Structure 1
Amino acid sequence: MGRKKLTAKQHEFLQFLIDHTRETGVWPTYREIIDHFGYNSPNSVTQNLKALHRKGHLTRDDQGYHLATRYQEQEEPGIPVKGIISAGTLQEAVEADLGTITLDMLFPNLDQIFAIRVSGQSMRGANIRDGDYVLLIDEDIPEGGIGAVLYDGETSLKRVHHDDEGLRLEPCNPEYDDIHIQPDVFEEVTILGRYVGHINDEGIHKKSGQGTPAVR
């Protein structure tokens, strides 16, 4: 079952289950969960358990619910959040364990994202270079957006444009020519995914609102 993004409340609920089972070695009772969160009825517990199970964070058998294997073995890897710092006037530093920043926080719909390694320099102008790992999501590519397409048995990462002459695949490097695909062969074009970012030695580059990569 694929992992899906949790709401803030669901994440807090899951973290309580993880912390309780690690500290006590047993699954918390309904009463312990209700007392911890201040719920008015057991139905709130059931709804949260079902949501976490549906999103792939819990498993279920005849004995009840259990943490998914990755939570039983170790915490989900991420960047530790070690405190709070002021971005206004000088204030006393606040040190605290505020959890971690995980990939599903950086990339919503993480379960739909996959990576492909780039070969060539046609997208150099978008800061996507040979050897980078481009991150794609299984969605249509908007007009002028960057994405991966499959045509005539070959794949290409380009900016995608539609006009009266058909489909135009535009490189981000003047040394490369546009690729034109006539309307009568549109059915032979397969959209592999929409660009959402890429990874290289400099770090994670996430697509900004303007469609250009921004270093994270």
Structure 2
Amino acid sequence: MMYTPLRPRQEEILRFIESYLDENNYPPTIREIGQAVGISSTSVVNYNLEKLEELKLIERNREVSRGLRLVGRDGIGWREVPLYGAIAAGDPIPLPEDPAALDEQVLAPEEMLPSSGEVFALRIKGQSMIDALLDDGDVIIVRSQPEVETGEVAVIEVLEPPEWAGATVKRFYFAEDQVELRPANPTYTSLWLLPDQVRIYGKVVSALRQYR
């Protein structure tokens, strides 16, 4: 499933609506939202609410002042997932030495997360996986695991040769005594390596799609 990442202002509004509902058991007005997030124009607040509505994160009844419903309250739920920087959909690039120190998160619906295991997020850089619906700027959700099934999309670190060293997202295939890191874009070519030349970080389980 694909979801659009929220802009910072929209995420701030969504968080305020959730906290307001926790405290009051009813939704805020447009003016209260604006005051909470520092927006003086009600039309700007309304614009951001329309975007949240388009993403099916909220529902609105415009005939009443508090006619707003948070869709996540009906069981979707949201969770913060640590964002560990960028991942190459192209030639491998280094991952941060200490990704947890970046202290960044993305909001993801719980229904798109696995029921068990640790997860992390990475932002796609490049277009080698575009035919797998993973484009430049999208955010992938990855379940940490040291192995994947052949053909699955995975986050893989290339250990050697040095000129290819770094991390990339590709389809992972076993082929006799080699592994193939296969792109999903006909303008890119596969990387063929020995099994001990790669390390699997995890399986891509879903993506937050950056619509353009």
TM-score of the pair, normalised by structure 2: 0.46
Structure having the higher Rg: 1
The one of the two structures with greater contact order (alpha-carbon pairs below 8 A, sep at least 6) is 2
